[in-house]
Amino acid sequence: MSFTVKIEEDNTEKIKNAVHDSILEGLDAAGVQAVSLATVEIQKEPQRVDTGLLKNSIAYAVVGKSAIPSTYSADSPDKDGNVRTGSYSGTAPDEGPDKPYVMIGTNVEYAVYVHEGTSRMKANRFLKNAIDENKSELREIVVKELQKL
């Protein structure tokens, strides 16, 4: 018994694009979760939440896209009675379709001192801890998105 297979159309590019889009969707969902985890971490000891500006500034951006959230503000006024605000502009650098990624971070100028500590202040590694302690959960979010294909 013999048979013939005839391929009418090559869908390789469609499949590659669908996989890439699913990865980006998964990274977007992982970014949302990572921001949530970092927001919880920053409120742990040694706590560094005064006005809430740093906590509310934690954002993520998927390759080639803008940061989410794009703007943020403090929960309460600073010592001068001002409610500070901030924003993100631009997009995460585009590294090409073979290298999708998500960036997690903050642009608040004093974030590095809170995260790394100083000679007078113990470090609160809210970003590092959120990612390191939850790598498998964040990876699983991306995998679940791919399984929807």
Which of 26, 33, 94 shows the shortest CA–CA distance to 60? 33
The model's pLDDT over 80-125, given as tens digits with 9 standing for 90+, comes to 999 999 999 999 988 766 789 999 999 999 999 999 999 999 999 9
Please report whether residue 4 resides in a domain. no
Backbone angles phi, psi at 59, to 5 degrees: -140, 170
Q: Are 20 and 100 in contact (CB under 8 A)?
A: yes
- Dig out the tokens for 16 from the structure: 């590659």
At 84 the pLDDT is 95
Please report whether residue 6 resides in a domain. no
- One DSSP character per residue, 79-92 reads TTS---EEE--S--
Please report whether residue 141 resides in a domain. yes
Please report whether residue 5 resides in a domain. no
At 74 the pLDDT is 95
Please report whether residue 126 resides in a domain. yes
Number of domains in the chain: 1
Instruction: Report the C-alpha gap between 51 and 28 in whole angstroms.
Output: 28
Instruction: Report the C-alpha gap between 1 and 85 in whole angstroms.
Output: 74
Which of 48, 46, 67 shows the shortest CA–CA distance to 58? 67
What single letter denotes the amino acid at residue 142?
A: V
Pairing of strands 59-62, 102-105: antiparallel
At 97 the pLDDT is 60
At 96 the pLDDT is 67
Spatial CB neighbours of 132, under 8 Å, sequence gap ≥ 6: none
Please report whether residue 122 resides in a domain. yes
Please report whether residue 70 resides in a domain. yes
Check residues 13 and 97 and name the one with the higher pLDDT. 13
Please report whether residue 7 resides in a domain. no
Q: How many Cα atoms are found within 13 Å in the side-chain-facing hemisphere of 108?
A: 25
Domain encompassing residue 121: 12-147
The model's pLDDT over 30-69, given as tens digits with 9 standing for 90+, comes to 999 999 999 999 999 887 778 999 999 999 999 999 999 9
